[in-house]
Amino acid sequence: MFAFAPAATAAPHYYDVRIFSFDGTRLMATVFLPEGASATNRVPFVLMTHGWAGERIATPTGHVATLLNAGYGVLTWDSRGFGASAGEVMLNSPDYEVKDVQRLVDYVATSIPAAQRTGNDPVVGMAGGSYAGGIQLLAAAFDPRIDAIAPEIAWNDLAESLAPNGVPKLYWTSLLFGAGLEASCVNARNGDAPGALVGAMSPHTRPTTGCQTSDLAAYYARVHATNSVPDDVRAALEYRSPKTYMSSINVPTLLLQGFPDTLFDVNQAVANYDGIKANGAPVKLWLYDGGHGHPEGPALPNTQGNLIGSVVVNWFDRYLKGDTSVNTGAPVQYYAGGAWHTATAWPDPAATVGTKSQGGVPALIQGPVTGGPPSSFTTKLADGPATLAGPASVSFKATGNGVEGILFLSLGVQTAAGVTVANAQVQPVRFPIAPGSMTSVSTQLVNVEASIPEGGALVLTFGTFHRDYDGNRVPGYVNIEDVQISWTTK
Query: Tell me, what's the pLDDT at 461?
Result: 85
- For the domain spanning 13-161+238-343, the CATH number is 3.40.50.1820
Radius of gyration of the chain (CA): 24
Query: Tell me, what's the pLDDT at 298?
Result: 62
Query: Tell me, what's the pLDDT at 474?
Result: 75
262-287 pLDDT, tens digit each: 999 999 999 999 999 999 999 999 99
Query: Tell me, what's the pLDDT at 302?
Result: 64
Closest CA to 458 of 365, 381, 349: 381
Q: Report how far Cα 93 is from the mean position of its chain's Cα atoms.
A: 16
How many alpha carbons fall within 13 Å on the CB side of residue 314?
Answer: 15
166-216 pLDDT, tens digit each: 999 999 999 999 888 888 876 554 444 332 222 222 232 333 345 777 788
What phi, psi does 27 have (nearest 5°)?
Answer: -115, 125
H or E segment and range at residue 131: helix 131-142
452-478 pLDDT, tens digit each: 999 998 888 888 888 899 877 877 777
Query: Tell me, what's the pLDDT at 90?
Result: 94
Closest CA to 64 of 29, 94, 110: 29
Residue with more model confidence, 479 or 33 = 33
Closest CA to 142 of 36, 31, 22: 22
Residues contacting 482, CB < 8 A, separation 6+: 359, 360, 361, 362, 396, 397
In this structure, which amino acid lies at residue 51? G
Residue with more model confidence, 240 or 354 = 240
Q: What is the mean pLDDT of residues 222-226?
A: 93
CB 53 within 8 Å of CB 295: no
Query: Tell me, what's the pLDDT at 457?
Result: 86
Instruction: Give the span between the Cα atoms of 23 and 99, in whole angstroms.
Output: 9
pLDDT at 409 over 60: yes
Strands 117-118 and 45-48: unpaired
CB 57 within 8 Å of CB 135: no
Question: Using 50, 70 and 90 to split pLDDT, how confident is the model at 300?
Answer: low
89-139 pLDDT, tens digit each: 999 999 999 999 999 999 999 999 999 999 889 999 999 999 999 999 999
Instruction: Give the span between the Cα atoms of 99 and 78, in whole angstroms.
Output: 14
CB 91 within 8 Å of CB 53: no
pLDDT at 18 over 80: yes
Task: Return residue ranges of the chain for CATH 2.60.120.260.
Answer: 376-489
Task: Return residue ranges of the chain for CATH 3.40.50.1820.
Answer: 13-161+238-343
Q: What is the mean pLDDT of residues 387-415?
A: 87
Instruction: Give the span between the Cα atoms of 269 and 133, in whole angstroms.
Output: 11
Query: Tell me, what's the pLDDT at 295?
Result: 60
In this structure, which amino acid lies at residue 224? H
Strands 253-258 and 283-288: parallel
Instruction: Give the span between the Cα atoms of 486 and 490, in whole angstroms.
Output: 14
pLDDT at 36 over 50: yes
CB 385 within 8 Å of CB 467: no
Percent residues over pLDDT 90 in the chain: 62
pLDDT at 312 over 50: yes
Residue with more model confidence, 390 or 44 = 44
Q: What is the mean pLDDT of residues 338-342?
A: 92
pLDDT at 431 over 50: yes
CB 131 within 8 Å of CB 256: no
CB 385 within 8 Å of CB 452: yes
Instruction: Give the span between the Cα atoms of 425 and 48, in whole angstroms.
Output: 29
Question: Using 50, 70 and 90 to split pLDDT, how confident is the model at 370?
Answer: low
Q: Provide the H-helix boundaries in 320-428.
A: none
Closest CA to 460 of 434, 432, 435, 480: 480
CB 422 within 8 Å of CB 413: yes
Q: What is the mean pLDDT of residues 292-311?
A: 74
Q: What is the mean pLDDT of residues 344-350?
A: 88
Instruction: Give the span between the Cα atoms of 153 and 5, in whole angstroms.
Output: 17
Q: Out of 24-38, 46-60, 295-309, 413-427, which region has the weakest mean confidence (pLDDT)?
A: 295-309
Closest CA to 215 of 104, 81, 21, 83: 81
pTM score: 0.90
Facing residues of 477 across strands?
Answer: 368, 401
Q: What is the mean pLDDT of residues 394-419?
A: 88
Length of the chain: 490
Percent residues over pLDDT 70 in the chain: 84
CB 129 within 8 Å of CB 1: yes
pLDDT at 58 over 70: yes
Angle, helices 97-111 vs 131-142, to 10°: value is: 70
Cβ-based burial of 202 (10 A; exposed 0-12, middle 13-18, buried ≥19): exposed
Closest CA to 377 of 460, 312, 303: 460
Q: What DSSP state is assigned to residue 243?
A: G
CATH superfamily of 376-489: Galactose-binding domain-like (2.60.120.260)
